[in-house]
Amino acid sequence: MKHLLTPERLTASPSLSGPSPRAARFSPDGSRLTFLKGRANDRQRYDLWSYDVKTGKAALLVDARKLEPEDVELSEEEKALRERKRIAGLGGIVTYEWDKRGEQILIPIAGDLWLAKVAGPAVDVQRLTKSKAFEYNAEVSDTGRYVSFIRDGALFAIDVAAGRELPLSPAADPKAAISYGVAEFVAQEEMSRYVGAWWGPEDRYIAYTRVDESPVAIVPRFDIAASEVTVIEQRYPRAGEPNAIVDLFVRDMKTGKAVQVDLDSSPDTYLARVDWTGPDRLFVQRVNRAQTRLELLRVDVTSGAVTTAFVETQPHWVNLSKDLHPLASGGFLWSTEESGYRHITLHDPDGRKIRQVTAGDWVVSSVLGADEDRKVVYFEGFVDGVLERHVYRVSYASSDDPPFRLTAPGGEWTASFNRDADAFIGTFSSPTQPPQTGLYRADGTFVAWIEENKVDDDHPYAPYLPAHVTPEFGTLSADDGQTLHYSILKPPGFDPKKTYPVIVEVYGGPHAQTVANDWRKLSDVMLAQRGYIVFRLDNRGMWNRGKKFEDVIFRQTGDAEVRDQLRGVAHLRSLPYVDPARIAVDGWSYGGYMALMVTLKAPAGTFAAAVAGAPVTDWKLYDTFYTERYMRTPKDNPDGYKAASVFAHLTRLSSPLLLFHGMADDNVTFDNSTRVYAELQRMNKPFEMMTYPGQRHGVADQDMQVHLLNTKLAFLARHLKP
Residues assigned a catalytic role: 589, 665, 697
- B/e letters for 596-611, b = 16+ CB within 10 Å, e = fewer, are bbbbbbbeeebbbbbb
Cα–Cα distance for residue pair 553/555, rounded to 1 Å: 6
Residue 123 makes CB contacts below 8 A (sequence gap 6+) with 61, 62, 116, 117
Interaxial angle between packed helices 560-574 and 590-601, expressed in degrees from 0 to 180 and rounded to the nearest 10: 70
Beta-strand relationship, 390-395 and 404-405? antiparallel
Question: How many other β-carbons are positioned within 10 Å of the β-carbon of residue 368?
Answer: 21
Alpha carbon of 549 to those of 419, 480, 511, 546: distances in Å? 35, 10, 12, 6
* First-residue to last-residue Cα distance in the chain: 20
Sorted by sequence, the CB contacts under 8 Å of residue 536 that are 6+ apart come out as 471, 486, 487, 504, 505, 506, 514, 515, 524
- φ and ψ at residue 576, rounded to 5 degrees: -65, -20
289, 264 contact by CB (below 8 A): no
For the chain, what is the total number of helices (H) and then of strands (E)?
12, 44
Alpha helix segments (H runs only) across 249-396: none
Q: Which long-range contacts (CB under 8 A, 24 or more apart) does 431-437 make?
A: 431/470, 431/471, 431/517, 431/518, 431/519, 431/520, 432/468, 432/470, 433/519, 434/17, 434/18, 434/20, 434/461, 434/519, 435/17, 435/18, 435/20, 435/519, 437/20, 437/21, 437/24, 437/35
Exposed/middle/buried for 59, CB within 10 Å: 0-12, 13-18, 19+? Answer: exposed
Contact 87, 142 (CB under 8 A): no
